[in-house]
Amino acid sequence: MDRARDAIGDAAELYVDANGAYTRKQAIRVMANAADLEVCWFEEPVSSDDLDGLRAVSESVYADVTAGEYGYDLSYFRRMCASGAVDCLQADASRCGGITDWLRVAAIAAGYGLGISAHCAPHLHLHAAAATPNLRHLEWFHDHARIEQMAFDGTAQPIGGVLRPDPDAPGRGFTLRATDIEKYRED
């Protein structure tokens, strides 16, 4: 984490994604050892299924604890919020039932006074995220963005850390590059 902080400088927020790799005590120790780095986002310090563990970490560290990217139904997100396990809820429309259910997840988070982070696939989430009052941020996951840019024309580009939907483009603002992706087709 020291190298990450050195690379981004003091002005940028430092986010850490543990991908559920730590035990509760390990996660707390890691963040205690990194206290001088001012990590403000701790994604999945323990398994997202360990709601008691997420809550214990959240209560013990400075960083906001977040999870939920693997959730696929509304009851999962409701349980996570009701347990007090996270400071911000994550959801991925490609996993949780599409844009309609992603908006429902955002409403559940808002009902608990939480923000929501649109996880992965930034172009998929862009328009819905722009219309979501409790949006914390839209994750720019490079692998997903790269694939979206390979498959579609009209994808948005971040400028100064901000993505803006094209107000003149219909729908999500992009069109399929059918000939470019034909080579990936499976029959």
pLDDT one-digit tens code per residue, 153-181: 888 888 888 888 888 888 878 889 999 98
What six digits make up the tokens of 63? Answer: 């960083």
SS (H, E, C) the chain: CHHHHHHHCCCCCEEEECCCCCCHHHHHHHHHHCHHHCEEEEECCCCCCCHHHHHHHHHHCCCEEEECCCCCCHHHHHHHHHCCCCCEEEECCCCCCHHHHHHHHHHHHHHCCCEEEECCCHHHHHHHHHCCCCEEEECCCHHHHHHHHHHEECCCCCECCECCCCCCCCCCCCEECHHHHHHHCCC
Q: Rg (Cα) of the chain, in Å, rounded?
A: 18
Note the pLDDT tens digit of each residue in 60-102: 999 999 999 999 999 999 999 999 999 999 999 999 999 999 9
pLDDT of 161: 81
Predicted pLDDT of residue 51 = 97
Reported pTM: 0.88
Domain with CATH 3.20.20.120 in the chain: 69-186
The CATH class of 69-186 is: alpha beta
Tell me the pLDDT of the chain averaged across its residues. Answer: 92
Per-residue confidence band for 116, with pLDDT thresholds at 50, 70 and 90: very high
Q: What tokens appear for 134 in the block?
A: 């409790």
**CA pair distance 90, 69, nearest whole angstrom:** 5
CA 16 to chain centroid, in Å, comes to 12
For the stretch 107-140, what's the b/e string if a residue is b when 16 or more beta carbons lie within 10 angstroms of its beta carbon?
Answer: ebbbebebbbbbbbbbbbbbbbbeebebbbbbbe
